[in-house]
């Protein structure tokens, strides 16, 4: 069995103390750059591997961070994770990714598993279902484990968050449809107990009112973020005595389902009915009928969430701060809502 290289072996080869080798490998500023580089090169040459567990015990940090998302098969959440990784990897952190499938029970299991793994913090977007409870979050706070929400959040004192202005995104999308000449605009919402979906709905409603149009609650359907549900909900809308001339969806996947149902009836988009989604998933711009959608800057959201985590993990545990970062949404106007005879704003 091959003997593992130790700091004593490196010290012997270089004619320096083991303590100097340890300090050099850990980036101690008291060690000169030349010595740090020499020790690093020698360690690589001798195939030395640092004992991560020993380092964690010594520093009180595991250099692991948990990231909890509803699902990873979404470009939005995958892009947020990419932003988190790009920010944390260069700082020596590793990311442990968990998904809840929008189930509260799995969310609780994920939090407990990450706590048992001694992560240095958790960045998460909350699940979309289950009873309201803060027990798992309270456990994090009591253990002084930094918790940062992104996209979907809960209002918990002392917990930071990074979101976009969902109200503004909903308002922009609806205003754009009104500018295109639409007057009977439907909204395919999601669970409005979740703040982001509630705010998108409120932005939609306010734009309707501000433009002097009649707000009709029957044009609002609450659904889930699935293509099949978008098609099912749109069927209800199109079967109305006076169907809508536009649909604003809180999800791109639901918008895609809406488009499928509209096309199946021989209606034209955007001539007969305009469609706008939310999230700016990649398929929205690559389809033959590209879909207008609200961009959420997911990579930037991930980077900022990671930066907020770094601020919290490096501060004194006695200092409690709460940061709420709100990013500005951008409406990406495409074929599904752009009527040729109307100039887009």
- Asked whether the predicted pLDDT for residue 345 surpasses 50, the reply is no
Tell me what pLDDT residue 342 has.
46
Tell me what pLDDT residue 51 has.
63
Task: Give residue-wise pLDDT tens across range 215-240.
Answer: 999 999 999 889 999 999 999 999 99
This prediction has a pTM of 0.79
CATH architecture of 62-164+297-327: 3-Layer(aba) Sandwich (3.40)
Domain boundaries, the chain: 7-50, 62-164+297-327, 166-296
The DSSP 8-state label assigned to residue 214 in this structure reads P
More confident residue, 111 or 316: 111
Tell me what pLDDT residue 58 has.
57
How far apart CA 183 and CA 271 sit, in angstroms, is: 13
Q: Which residue has the tokens 């320096």?
A: 16
How far apart CA 68 and CA 153 sit, in angstroms, is: 12
H or E segment at 239?
Answer: none
Strands 220-222 and 185-189, bridge-based pairing: parallel
Print burial letters for 177-198: b (CB count within 10 Å at least 16), e (below 16): bbebebebbbbbbbbbebbbbb
Task: Give residue-wise pLDDT tens across range 176-200.
Answer: 999 999 999 999 999 898 899 999 9
Task: Give residue-wise pLDDT tens across range 310-320.
Answer: 998 887 555 56
Tell me what pLDDT residue 296 has.
94
Does the domain at residues 7-50 carry the CATH identifier 1.10.260.40?
yes
Q: Please give the order of strands across the beta sheet that includes 147-150.
A: 94-99, 64-69, 121-124, 147-150, 160-164, 324-327
Residue 77 in contact with residue 71, Cβ under 8 Å? yes
32: helix, strand or coil? coil
Tell me what pLDDT residue 317 has.
58
- Determine the distance from the C-alpha atom of residue 274 to the mean position of all C-alpha atoms in its chain, rounded to a whole number: 27
Least confident of 238-242, 260-264, 317-321: 317-321
Q: Which residue has the tokens 């609002």?
A: 220
CA distances from residue 154 to 79, 149, 325 in whole angstroms, order as listed:
21, 8, 14
% the chain with pLDDT above 90: 63
Answer whether 7-50 and 166-296 agree in fold.
no
Give the CATH class of 166-296: alpha beta
Task: Give residue-wise pLDDT tens across range 74-109.
Answer: 899 999 999 999 999 888 899 999 999 988 889 999
97: helix, strand or coil? strand
CA torsion angle 225 226 231 235 (round to 10): -50
Tell me what pLDDT residue 49 has.
77
- Length of the chain equals 345
Return the number of other C-beta atoms located less than 10 Å from residue 15's C-beta.
6
């Amino acid at each position: 069995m091959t003997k593992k290289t130790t700091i004593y072996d490196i010290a012997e080869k270089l004619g320096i103390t083991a303590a100097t080798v340890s300090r050099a490998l850990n980036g101690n500023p008291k060690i000169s750059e030349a010595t740090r580089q020499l020790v690093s090169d020698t360690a690589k040459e001798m195939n030395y591997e640092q004992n991560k567990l020993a380092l964690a015990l010594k520093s009180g940090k595991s250099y692991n961070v948990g990231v909890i998302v509803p699902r990873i098969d979404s470009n939005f959440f995958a892009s947020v994770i990419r932003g988190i990784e790009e920010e944390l990897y260069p700082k020596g952190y590793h990311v442990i990714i968990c998904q809840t499938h929008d189930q509260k029970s799995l969310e609780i299991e994920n939090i407990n598993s990450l706590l048992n793994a001694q992560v240095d913090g958790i960045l998460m977007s909350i699940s979309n279902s289950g009873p309201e409870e803060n027990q798992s979050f309270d456990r994090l706070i009591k253990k002084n484990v930094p918790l940062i929400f992104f996209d979907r959040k809960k209002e918990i004192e002392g917990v930071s968050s990074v979101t976009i202005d969902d109200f503004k995104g909903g308002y922009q999308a609806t205003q754009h449809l009104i500018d295109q000449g639409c007057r009977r605009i439907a909204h395919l919402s999601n669970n409005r107990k979740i703040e982001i979906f509630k705010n998108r709905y409120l932005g939609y409603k306010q734009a309707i009112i501000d433009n002097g149009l009649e707000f009709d609650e029957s044009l609002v359907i609450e659904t889930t973020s699935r293509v099949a549900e978008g098609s099912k909900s749109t069927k209800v809308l199109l079967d109305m005595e006076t169907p809508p001339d536009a649909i604003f969806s809180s999800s791109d996947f639901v918008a895609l389902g809406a488009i499928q149902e509209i096309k199946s009836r021989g209606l034209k988009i955007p001539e007969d009915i305009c469609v706008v989604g939310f999230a700016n998933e990649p398929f929205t711009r690559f389809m033959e009928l590209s879909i207008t959608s609200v961009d959420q800057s997911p990579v930037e959201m991930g980077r900022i969430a990671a930066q907020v985590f770094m601020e919290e993990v490096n501060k004194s545990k006695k200092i409690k701060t709460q940061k709420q970062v709100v990013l500005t949404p951008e409406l990406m106007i495409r074929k599904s809502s752009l009527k040729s005879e109307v100039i887009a704003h």
